[in-house]
Amino acid sequence: MVMGHGGGGSLSAELVEHLFAPAFRNEVLDGLGDSAVFALGGARLALSTDSYVVRPLFFPGGSIGDLAVNGTVNDLAMSGAVPAYLSCGFILEEGVALELVGRVAEAMGAAARAADVVVATGDTKVVDAGHGDGIFVNTAGVGLIPDGVDIGPRRARPDDTVIVSGSIGVHGVAIMSKREGLEFGVEIESDTAPLSGLVAAMLAACPDLHALRDPTRGGLATSLGEIAAASGVGVRLAEHALPVPETVANACAFLGLDPLYVANEGKLVAFVPPEHADAVLTAMRAHPYGREAVAIGTCVEEHPGMVVSATRLGGTRVVDMPLGEQLPRIC
Amino acid sequence: MVMGHGGGGSLSAELVEHLFAPAFRNEVLDGLGDSAVFALGGARLALSTDSYVVRPLFFPGGSIGDLAVNGTVNDLAMSGAVPAYLSCGFILEEGVALELVGRVAEAMGAAARAADVVVATGDTKVVDAGHGDGIFVNTAGVGLIPDGVDIGPRRARPDDTVIVSGSIGVHGVAIMSKREGLEFGVEIESDTAPLSGLVAAMLAACPDLHALRDPTRGGLATSLGEIAAASGVGVRLAEHALPVPETVANACAFLGLDPLYVANEGKLVAFVPPEHADAVLTAMRAHPYGREAVAIGTCVEEHPGMVVSATRLGGTRVVDMPLGEQLPRIC
């Protein structure tokens, strides 16, 4: 087990394919989405979980508590579900200050209220000093999928417009600069945010959204690669259209990172039927978390499963899946 | 933060009361059950979560994988829900053997099939060596509550019969003897088991079960104390009726433990209207996980919120809530 196995890239995918899928094999798990989707008692539900091990616990623009709520809210929203109830599991290290746990819980409570979800149940375990790392948080969440909504990574189609909701690479650079004590002129704040309201606005403009994903670990490149692989389409990006803020570009140049692979915590990428792309963009730009939404590419029949970027110089390059995360413990 | 804050006793209760409840305040969380219960899309659902940090990972009778599935299945079942879908979050320590992770996943898969639930979604994080402890597992689960079932810790009433499904203290002693390298004549195996089938059999005999709980951390004493406090009844135990196997009694005498406070992972305690007690006992004894079910006491109007035990010598003693767990990292 190496750090990359938790990085969301192809090492993570191997872990799922070779260890977890055989152990748990079932049709729901095979759906490949950020959430499991199933019917229960006549309701169509989504269920999702994430554990959070980010360091530091508090960083510019947010905290592990914000990530723990927004991350699970966003995973549910990416299946079109309206997030409703969250569970919360703490694994605390003996000796961690109660005051710190309280601050994380308060951040979670505030984030839950902002996302209009209820933290409905929880659990706390304590491990001996030296066998944990302060505070780990797991959240799981349940949401209700509205009738007629069918969003999934297999549904991308040739000619779909690929839209990203705003600037990329911000969360990863915020964490990295804080952790390494680097400064890049102005402080870069994490973009952590709940995206369920934005998805609702997009669905109102186009109920037939094909695929949605929030590009967290592994960045936009990984999300695009996963959807291309699942649906068998090619993705052609226009590199000049990628919304990379200058601060992120500078930091990435300094750190030797590619913004396409850096984690976001408040952005989504959408695969939209071309005839609805303008309406969806207009709806997104009217929402606080989609003001900078922009089309960044299209789906093609060529090179199925592959993401290719048209460079500024007129050439093309293949956008590979990363092996692991460039920045460990980013969420 | 001390180990006892994760022990399920009154230190845990203080953490919930003073830190988590104010941060997350909402009506569902205030329900005090092992699960949150709510309606979504017309379905009555239960949601529950637990993290598992048990050491060792494999022990006589089971593993962290069995606990992670059965524990969440049981929490759902204690609200009367039929467990359906589970999520699974791994926090792995860098350097842990992939083969070990695979064995845990396989144990989870087998336990899920035995409990008739689907592990539908998951997440893996890796933390640097020295900042975790091999494998931590979180599970959350969703279940459907059948119409007409209303089980909760506030519903115990005076004259209810208190029934336990079998011998107590087995899991805690199994872990402790393995961890400390102790032997007590025969090896004691954990009782980890899914109890949803047993609950279904009990509900068929009496749809109006009042309260159910699986006495894990903090043991039977804690579960009885929580239900007494939530419903405002007194509980009167007949100490001679408590099903403590001789091996557990001997181990507890040696270790200085009281079996009433030792964790179980495959037992439940039920508060049943007295007119249905015989029918429920008969149904339980016909089920593989309830063969040794026995009435251990009754609810009374006296000493509301308190558990009192009638000793073999004809006296009575108060059964207090423990401050923390006598045996840390038991689950």
3-state SS, residue B148: coil
Q: What is the dihedral of CA A225, A228, A231, A236, to 10 degrees?
A: 160
Across the interface, of B26, B122, B140, the residue whose CB is closest to A20 is B122
Residue B71 sits in a domain of what CATH number? 3.30.1330.10
Claim to verify: residue B304 and residue B164 sit in the same structural domain: yes
Residue of B34, B44, B51 to mutate when probing chain A, most A C-beta within 10 A: B51
Phi, psi of A87 (to 5 degrees): -105, 160
| Residue B38 counted as domain residue | yes
Across the interface, of B42, B49, B133, the residue whose CB is closest to A121 is B49
Burial class (CB in 10 A: 0-12, 13-18, 19+), A9: buried
The number of beta carbons lying within 10 Å of the beta carbon of residue A141 is: 33
Contact A51/B89, CB-based, under 8 Å?
A: yes
Q: Strand A82-93 vs strand A118-127: parallel, antiparallel, or unpaired?
A: parallel
| Residue A311 counted as domain residue | yes
A180-184, A230-234, B77-81, B118-122: least confidently modelled range: A180-184
- Which helix (H) or strand (E) covers residue A220, if one does? helix A219-231
Question: Which chain A residues contact residue B4 at CB under 8 A?
Answer: 126
pLDDT of residue A297: 98
B70 residue type, one letter:
N
Q: What is the largest CA-CA distance in chain B?
A: 57
pLDDT of residue B31: 62
Question: Which chain B residues contact residue A127 at CB under 8 A?
Answer: 6, 53, 133, 136, 329
pLDDT of residue B278: 98
pLDDT of residue A307: 97
Paired strand residues for B88: B122, B139
- Which helix (H) or strand (E) covers residue A58, if one does? strand A58-59
| Residue A323 counted as domain residue | no
With beta carbons less than 8 A apart as the criterion, state whether A68 and A331 touch: no
Give B130→chain A minimum CA distance, Å.
7
Predicted confidence (pLDDT) at residue B72 exceeds the cutoff of 90:
yes
Residue that the structure tokens 């988590």 belong to: B20
Give A44→chain B minimum CA distance, Å.
8
Q: Strand B118-127 vs strand B82-93: parallel, antiparallel, or unpaired?
A: parallel
Give A256→chain B minimum CA distance, Å.
22
> Can you tell me the distance from the alpha carbon of B185 to that of B194, in angstroms, rounded to the nearest whole number?
28
| Residue B329 counted as domain residue | no
Question: Which chain B residues contact residue A218 at CB under 8 A?
Answer: none
- What residues have CB less than 8 Å from A95, skipping those under 6 apart? A129, B1
Where does a domain end: B93, B109, B144?
B144
With beta carbons less than 8 A apart as the criterion, state whether A293 and A244 touch: no
Contact B87/A49, CB-based, under 8 Å?
A: yes
Q: Name the percent of chain B lying above pLDDT 70.
A: 98
A20-34, A54-68, B210-224, B241-255: least confidently modelled range: A20-34
Claim to verify: residue B161 and residue B227 sit in the same structural domain: yes
Predicted confidence (pLDDT) at residue A49 exceeds the cutoff of 90:
yes
Confidence at A32, pLDDT banded by 50, 70, 90: low
Where does a domain end: B81, B113, B144?
B144
Claim to verify: residue A133 and residue A162 sit in the same structural domain: no
The DSSP secondary structure of B31-55, one letter per residue, reads G-SSSEEEEETTEEEEEEEEEE--S
Confidence at B299, pLDDT banded by 50, 70, 90: very high
Q: Name the percent of chain A lying above pLDDT 70.
A: 98
pLDDT of residue B30: 64
| Residue B309 counted as domain residue | yes
Chain segment B240-281, per-residue pLDDT in tens: 999 999 999 999 998 889 999 999 999 999 999 999 999 999
Claim to verify: residue A123 and residue A199 sit in the same structural domain: no
Q: Which domain holds residue A65?
A: 32-144
pLDDT of residue A241: 96
pLDDT of residue B13: 82
Predicted confidence (pLDDT) at residue B41 exceeds the cutoff of 80:
yes
pLDDT of residue B327: 76
Question: Which chain B residues contact residue A36 at CB under 8 A?
Answer: 85, 87, 120-121
- What residues have CB less than 8 Å from A318, skipping those under 6 apart? A306, A307, A308, A309
Chain segment A93-146, per-residue pLDDT in tens: 999 999 999 999 999 999 999 999 999 999 999 999 999 999 999 999 999 999
Confidence at B198, pLDDT banded by 50, 70, 90: very high
With beta carbons less than 8 A apart as the criterion, state whether B190 and B175 touch: yes
Confidence at B323, pLDDT banded by 50, 70, 90: confident
Residue A299 sits in a domain of what CATH number? 3.90.650.10
Q: What is the dihedral of CA A285, A286, A288, A294, to 10 degrees?
A: -10
Confidence at B76, pLDDT banded by 50, 70, 90: very high
With beta carbons less than 8 A apart as the criterion, state whether B165 and B289 touch: yes
Strands (DSSP E) found in chain B: 36-40, 43-52, 58-59, 62-63, 82-93, 118-127, 135-144, 161-164, 211-213, 234-238, 269-272, 294-300, 307-310, 316-318
Question: Which chain B residues contact residue A130 at CB under 8 A?
Answer: 130
Across the interface, of B36, B128, B130, the residue whose CB is closest to A3 is B128
With beta carbons less than 8 A apart as the criterion, state whether B222 and B322 touch: yes
A131-145, A169-183, B98-112, B114-128: least confidently modelled range: A169-183
pLDDT of residue A30: 65
Taking phi first (over 0 means left), then psi (-120 to 50 degrees means alpha), and beta for anything else, what does residue B314 get? left
Claim to verify: residue B112 and residue B169 sit in the same structural domain: no
- Which helix (H) or strand (E) covers residue B76, if one does? helix B64-77
Average pLDDT over chain B reads: 94
Contact B45/A127, CB-based, under 8 Å?
A: no
pLDDT of residue A29: 76
Contact B136/A91, CB-based, under 8 Å?
A: yes
Claim to verify: residue B262 and residue B118 sit in the same structural domain: no
Predicted confidence (pLDDT) at residue A326 exceeds the cutoff of 80:
no
DSSP-derived secondary structure letter, A107:
H
pLDDT of residue A4: 81
Claim to verify: residue B169 and residue B75 sit in the same structural domain: no
Q: Which residue of B has its CA nearest to A17?
A: B102
What value does the mean pLDDT take over residues A229-256?
Answer: 95
Claim to verify: residue B83 and residue B160 sit in the same structural domain: no
Q: In what order do the strands lie in the sheet with B36-40?
A: B36-40, B43-52, B135-144, B82-93, B118-127
User: Higher model confidence: residue A4 or residue A48?
Assistant: A48
User: Which candidate, A270, A9, A141, A136, places its Cα nearest to that of B52?
Assistant: A136
Phi, psi of A66 (to 5 degrees): -60, -45
User: Higher model confidence: residue A52 or residue A23?
Assistant: A52
Claim to verify: residue A304 and residue A230 sit in the same structural domain: yes
- What residues have CB less than 8 Å from B242, skipping those under 6 apart? B164, B168, B220, B259, B260, B296
Predicted confidence (pLDDT) at residue A1 exceeds the cutoff of 80:
no
Tokens encoding B261 = 């406070």
B198 residue type, one letter:
L
Claim to verify: residue A74 and residue A128 sit in the same structural domain: yes
| Residue B2 counted as domain residue | no
Average pLDDT over chain A reads: 94
Predicted confidence (pLDDT) at residue A321 exceeds the cutoff of 80:
yes
Chain segment B145-188, per-residue pLDDT in tens: 999 999 999 999 999 999 999 999 999 999 998 888 877 677 89
> Can you tell me the distance from the alpha carbon of A45 to that of A198, in angstroms, rounded to the nearest whole number?
19
Question: Which chain B residues contact residue A35 at CB under 8 A?
Answer: 121
Predicted confidence (pLDDT) at residue B306 exceeds the cutoff of 90:
yes
- What residues have CB less than 8 Å from B163, skipping those under 6 apart? B269, B270, B272, B277, B280, B281, B284, B293, B294, B295, B296
Summarize chain A as % helix, strand, coil (round to 5).
35, 25, 40
> Can you tell me the distance from the alpha carbon of A249 to that of A173, in angstroms, rounded to the nearest whole number?
10
Claim to verify: residue B73 and residue B218 sit in the same structural domain: no
When divided into structural domains, chain B yields a total of 2
Where does a domain end: B120, B144, B168?
B144
Tokens encoding B235 = 């509980």
User: Which candidate, A225, A211, A139, places its Cα nearest to that of B123?
Assistant: A139
Question: Which chain A residues contact residue B144 at CB under 8 A?
Answer: 40-41
What value does the mean pLDDT take over residues B3-29?
Answer: 83
Q: Which residue of B has its CA nearest to A104?
A: B23
Across the interface, of A12, A138, A329, the residue whose CB is closest to B51 is A138
> Can you tell me the distance from the alpha carbon of A328 to that of A55, in angstroms, rounded to the nearest whole number?
9
Claim to verify: residue B62 and residue B200 sit in the same structural domain: no
| Residue B259 counted as domain residue | yes
pLDDT of residue A328: 83
